[in-house]
């Protein structure tokens, strides 16, 4: 019987291979007291170690330059900056001088102190930067004791890299021709190791508690990087299912290479705008903007979370300008600051809340601290002068919140006009539909906005009263619930009646099994993580509008989630499989992607 372990999905994809354990720590560290007359010589060893590690990192950076994006190569610049930081070096030297510790021990003590500072930070992304410190410490100690890590030679066998964590320097020991996935017991999806895995196209799951104890080298495992699941000792049926999915994944990749620049349009000519969700300007560098209609969700909070204080208006203008200029005339939808809940700011003291997901977050926080909202809206307005920017308000509950934001926007545009500052006078204002009570009053709110975007992650969670991260109830979180479909139908109908556009920007927008249903319900704009765009585009091109409407009508009449899933299994999956086996002629005319 197989065993299922849950972790955090860090890089998408499926991998099936034998586990190989990698030990990322040095087992034997010399410990001794340095005589006073030998302190200078002991400190002198540090220069040689820094030189050795610097050379190693530069070689690795050069080796990976052709395999990963230019932005991700800079991960090694961050490590080099730590390595040559004057404060870091002085702290190590002081440890040797004042406590007469040998250099290996001094490095470990200083790294441990620095890690404690990072671990105390509220910002998840910043906490995970502690891994870079551990990596530098490990490399320096390895250089001091002359222990070099050998490149792993897989001898032609595919394998899963398994370790306590995947650090940037580990990329140098991988047999990239045969590595199929990465599984770690620790780490997070914001760590530099996880970023490298995504950039290298290696499926990865991090934070799988007990994985190293549960497995041995050579054990067969399945890694599902989309769901964050590892199956140990899989059954014959599970292997067959995942081998089918892996084959499908490879077929999709092949098909997409043929049609990624083709329009996102149904066989009978209905255009569906496919857009990308991004977490910052750096994500734009890796996008093929010619394959999509624009940026449907730019999560501005990540730029706030990466800083030690609120970014100034000028800093925000520079960031938003880079985004709209990179989009080259295509829309960029900036969601205003959405912190609180699971996204705290380390430099902004948030009140303790028993249930922060239902608390002081999103637009509620920004209206309570208007300086934050004023500065951000003004910055977006200024950036809109050089591109197509849209403003999206999160966590809206009442019409009065939207009216207040509209008043702020009017005040800011009046001020910009009075001071001859350029902006787009036609800039659109939209809202996120996440709070269920908004749905029955949506017609009234649509009177004061230009578009709506459905945040299905929170909306479904609130509708079902299910915390997706609570393992006791997570299996109850199912967006194919009939009630969820009917709510989505209400939203699409209200938008259509008002003549306003409605998009989906939550996870179901990137679930290609959902695509025909969403089109049938009336949605013509879907925004998702870029990795899901190709599958969704292929699905759009597989069903006519009439077929989508028929599927949606039948699904809306169903009374059980299982019935809707059966519909997907019986009618959507076979069409998908047929499309992969015998691709139709992809020479439709139609609207641009």
Catalytic residues: 192, 505
Which residue intervals of 311-398 are DSSP H helices?
Answer: 313-326, 363-368, 370-383
C-alpha span between 223 and 229 (Å, rounded) = 6
C-alpha span between 329 and 455 (Å, rounded) = 25
What interhelical angle do 482-498 and 545-556 show, nearest 10?
130
Taking the CA atoms of 155, 177, 253 and 245 in sequence, report the sign of the dihedral they define.
positive
- 159-163 and 14-21 beta bridge pairing: parallel
Contact (CB, 8 A) for 249 and 15: no
Question: CA distances (Å), 132 to each of 136, 182, 255, in order?
Answer: 6, 18, 38
Contact (CB, 8 A) for 252 and 295: no
**Complete DSSP assignment for 271-321:** B-EEEEEESSHHHHTT--GGGSS-EEEEETHHHHHTSSSPPPHHHHHHHHH
132: which 2 tokens? 């870079």
CA atoms within 13 A on the CB side of 29: 18
C-alpha span between 34 and 93 (Å, rounded) = 12
The alpha carbon of 426 is separated from its chain's Cα centroid by a whole number of angstroms, namely 31
How many other CB atoms are there within 10 angstroms of residue 331's CB atom?
A: 18
Question: CA distances (Å), 79 to each of 54, 108, 160, 193, 584, in order?
Answer: 9, 16, 26, 12, 49
Taking the CA atoms of 488, 490, 494 and 496 in sequence, report the sign of the dihedral they define.
positive
Which residue is it, tokens 């939808």?
A: 333
Enumerate residues 6+ apart whose C-beta is below 8 A from 342. Answer: 356, 357
- 273-278 and 525-528 beta bridge pairing: parallel
528: exposed, middle or buried (C-beta count within 10 Å: 0-12, 13-18, 19+)? Answer: buried
Containing H/E element for 129? none
Enumerate residues 6+ apart whose C-beta is below 8 A from 511. Answer: 479, 532
| Dihedrals phi, psi of 33, to nearest 5 degrees | -95, 130
């Amino acid at each position: 019987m197989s065993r299922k372990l849950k972790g955090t999905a860090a890089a998408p994809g499926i991998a099936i291979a034998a586990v190989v354990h990698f030990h990322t720590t040095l087992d034997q560290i010399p410990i001794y007291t340095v005589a006073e007359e030998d302190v200078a010589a002991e400190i002198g060893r540090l220069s040689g170690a820094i030189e050795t590690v610097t050379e190693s990192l530069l070689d690795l950076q050069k080796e990976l330059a052709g395999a990963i994006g230019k932005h991700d190569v800079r991960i090694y610049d961050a490590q080099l900056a730590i390595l040559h930081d004057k404060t870091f070096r002085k702290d190590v030297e002081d440890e040797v001088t004042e406590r007469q510790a040998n250099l290996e021990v001094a490095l470990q003590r200083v790294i441990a102190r620095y890690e404690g500072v990072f671990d105390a930070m509220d910002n998840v992304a910043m906490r995970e930067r502690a891994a870079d410190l551990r990596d530098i410490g490990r490399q320096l100690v390895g250089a001091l004791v002359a222990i070099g890590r050998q490149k792993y030679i897989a001898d032609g066998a595919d394998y899963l890299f398994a370790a306590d964590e995947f650090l940037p320097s580990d990329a140098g020991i991988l047999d990239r021709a045969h590595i199929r996935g990465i599984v770690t017991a620790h780490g997070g999806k914001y760590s530099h190791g996880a970023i490298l895995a995504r950039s290298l196209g290696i499926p990865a799951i991090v934070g799988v508690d007990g994985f190293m104890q549960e497995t041995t080298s050579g054990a067969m495992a399945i890694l599902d990087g989309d769901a964050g699941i590892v199956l140990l000792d899989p059954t014959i049926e599970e292997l067959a299912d995942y081998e089918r999915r892996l084959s499908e994944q490879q077929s999709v990749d092949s098909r997409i290479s043929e049609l990624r620049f083709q329009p996102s349009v149904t066989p009978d000519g209905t255009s569906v705008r496919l857009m990308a969700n991004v977490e910052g300007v750096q994500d734009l560098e890796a996008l093929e903007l010619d394959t999509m209609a624009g940026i449907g969700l730019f999560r501005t909070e990540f730029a706030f979370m990466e800083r030690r204080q609120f970014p100034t208006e000028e800093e925000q203008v520079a960031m938003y300008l880079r985004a709209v200029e990179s989009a080259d005339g295509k829309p960029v939808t900036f969601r205003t600051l959405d912190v609180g809940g699971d996204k705290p700011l380390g430099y902004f003291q948030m009140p303790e809340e028993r249930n922060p997901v239902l608390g002081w977050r999103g637009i509620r926080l920004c209206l309570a601290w208007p300086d934050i909202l004023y500065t951000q809206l003004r910055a977006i307005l200024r950036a809109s002068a050089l591109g197509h920017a849209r403003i999206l308000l999160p966590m809206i509950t009442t019409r009065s919140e939207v009216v207040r934001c509209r008043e702020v926007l009017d005040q800011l545009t009046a001020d910009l006009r009075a001071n001859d500052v350029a902006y787009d006078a036609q800039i659109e204002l939209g809202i996120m539909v996440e709070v269920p009570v908004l749905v029955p009053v949506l017609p009234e709110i649509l009177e004061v906005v230009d578009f709506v975007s459905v945040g299905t992650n929170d909306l479904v969670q609130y509708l079902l009263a299910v915390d997706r991260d609570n393992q006791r109830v997570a299996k109850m979180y199912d967006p194919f619930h009939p009630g969820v479909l009917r709510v989505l139908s209400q939203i699409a109908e209200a938008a259509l009646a008002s003549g306003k556009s409605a998009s989906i920007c939550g996870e179901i927008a990137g679930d290609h099994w959902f695509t025909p249903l969403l089109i049938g319900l009336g949605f013509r704009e879907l925004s998702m993580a870029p990795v899901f765009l190709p599958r969704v585009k292929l699905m759009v091109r597989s069903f006519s509008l009439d077929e989508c409407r028929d599927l949606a009508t039948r699904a809306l009449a169903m009374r059980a989630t299982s019935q809707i899933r059966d519909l997907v299994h019986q009618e959507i999956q076979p069409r998908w499989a047929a499309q992969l086996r015998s691709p139709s002629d992809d020479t439709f005319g139609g609207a641009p992607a």
